[in-house]
Structures are given as structure tokens and as C-alpha cells.
Structure 1
Amino acid sequence: MQRSMSRPGNHVMKSYETYADMLFRIALVHLGSRQDAEEATQDTFIKLMEKAPEFKDAEHQKAWLIRVITNHCKTMLGRGWRKREVKLEGAEPVTADSPEDLALLQLVLALPVKYKSVVHLYYYEDYPIQEISKILQISASAVKMRLQRGRQLLKLELKGAEPQ
């Protein structure tokens, strides 16, 4: 049996090049901090190196990485030090194509985590409901309900922001 000549970690490097930006955006949506999002992204790739799971295809790997980073973000949010952390207003600029897109993105970032996750995966990462269900390990009906409630919250915020 002939051994593969590829260096260990080549698959991780290729995965990093392919998925790092998407995973960073997901972490940023969850955590709201560039530094925390960078840490979560790094930790996700470290876990990929440590676990070295076998994937059926690229979509299976992508779903695994999203699940890992989502769970890691939830863990980070649950840490006691993070709950006492003081946020600096305006310290992390969020970029968008237009002022309207920026305003909407900021509203999405302000949603509770369970709504923010599904809204981000559905609208910004273009995942269908069934895929989000698998990634977050919740039922499709739970995804639909969270999308509906997230949209309702966004609609309320947008109505409140309109000049009277």
C-alpha cells in the first residue's frame, strides 16, 4: 500500500483557504467582536486538525465546520467573563455596500443569538432551511419559527426607525 505524499495539514490549509472567511463572518455575527471571532475561527481549525474527521464531500465538511464554530461561539457566550465584559460602542466597524445594508446588518447583529444564527445562515450564507436544520441540529420547523420571529423582530425595529 502506497502512502500519500501530501504533507499533513494540507487538507486543513485548503479548508482554511476555502472556509475561513465564511466561518469568521458566522463567528462575528454570534460574538460581535472581531477578536473573539478570530479566536473562534482559529479554534475551529485547530479542532479540525485534532479530530481529523473523514468527510463524505465538501458540503459535509462545510456543515461540520459551521456546526463546530456555532457550538464554540455558544460556549464562548456562556463564559462568565464574557457576560461581565464591557462593549466599546463603535469600536468594531461593520462594513456593508450601502448605508441601508449597514443599518440592516446592525439590526441583525442585535438579534438574540438563536434568531441571529438562522437569519445569518439563511440570508447571508444562502443556506436552505433543511441545511440550517442539519447544521444547527434543530428541526426544520424550529428553523422556520426562528426565521419568522427574527423577521418579526427586524420588522418591528425597522418600523421604529422610520421617521414619523
Structure 2
Amino acid sequence: MKYALSSILFESKEHEKAWMIRVTINQCKDFMKSIFRRKTISLEEVVSLSDEQKEDYREVLEAVLTLPQKYKDVVYLYYYEGYSAVEIGEMLGKNVNTIYTLLARSREKLKEKLGGYEIG
């Protein structure tokens, strides 16, 4: 993206290559320092932490993990990471109303899987 938006004129192919490598390195460093990366944990880590949780929470987590990916993502970001629907929409590039719809459908699917427990 930086390359496409850049108006820099390169002296040679080597200069262009060196610029591309340096920009890539800097972007990777920025990502590693980003607040988003530091504040999140993977679903696999949540599963490993779930042994310490009560059994009913484990059952809910297992039900969440069986959801299709599009539902699992929004449920995880909303309930486990604490992001708002607006923030999730921005992260996933979706309309906020789509996020609300996905959350509602996820709750229905989880309610069916969990035998009628209310979620959220």
C-alpha cells in the first residue's frame, strides 16, 4: 500500500528494492508494537485457559468454537475481547448492522447448541 501511495522516484531497481525492504521491516515493527496485537489473544490460547474456568463456561466456549468462522469471529471479538460492534465492523470491513445481525444469529445458534441458555 505504501508503494502504491508513494510518489518517490527511485534511482535504480536496487534503490527500489532497498526501499521496499526497509518499509516492510518498519511496518512489521509497527504491527508488533501495535495496541491491537498486545491486547488480543488467539482462540487457541483461550481454549488452553479454559481449563481453569468453570465447567459451564467451558461448555459455552466449546459451542462458540463449533460455530462457522463468520459467527465465531464476531462472538470472539465482542464477548471475549470486549470490542464494540462499531469497532468489529471497522476491523472486519463490514457494516455495523451486519455485525449486529451476525451477533444475533450467533446467539440463536448458541442457544440451540446449549439447549436454551440465554447468551448476552
Query: Which TM-score tier does this pair reach, normalised by the shorter chain?
Result: 0.5 to 0.7
Distance 2:36 2:91 in 1: 18
Cα distance, 1:20 vs. partner?
5.1
Written as runs of structure 1 = structure 2, the 5 A alignment for 1:37-116 is 94-96=48-50, 97-116=53-72
C-alpha distance 112-100 of structure 1, shift in aligned 2 (>3 A): same
Alpha carbon RMSD of aligned pairs, Å? 3.0
Note if contact 1:94-1:102 (Cα within 8 Å) is conserved in structure 2. no
Cα distance, 1:99 vs. partner?
1.1
Distance 2:37 2:74 in 1: 18
Q: Does 1:19 align with 2:43?
A: no
Instruction: Provide the residue aligned with 1:145 in structure 2.
Output: 101
Cα distance, 1:122 vs. partner?
0.4
Distance 1:21 1:113 in 2: 21
The TM-score normalised by the length of structure 1 is 0.46
Please say which structure displays the higher CA radius of gyration.
2
> How much identity, in percent, do the aligned residues show?
29
- Deviating above 4 A after TM superposition, structure 1's stretches of 4 or more consecutive aligned residues are 8-14
The TM-score normalised by the length of structure 2 is 0.61
Q: Does 1:126 align with 2:82?
A: yes
Listed as ranges, the gaps of 5+ residues in structure 2 are 1-24
Listed as ranges, the gaps of 5+ residues in structure 1 are 1-7, 29-33, 35-92
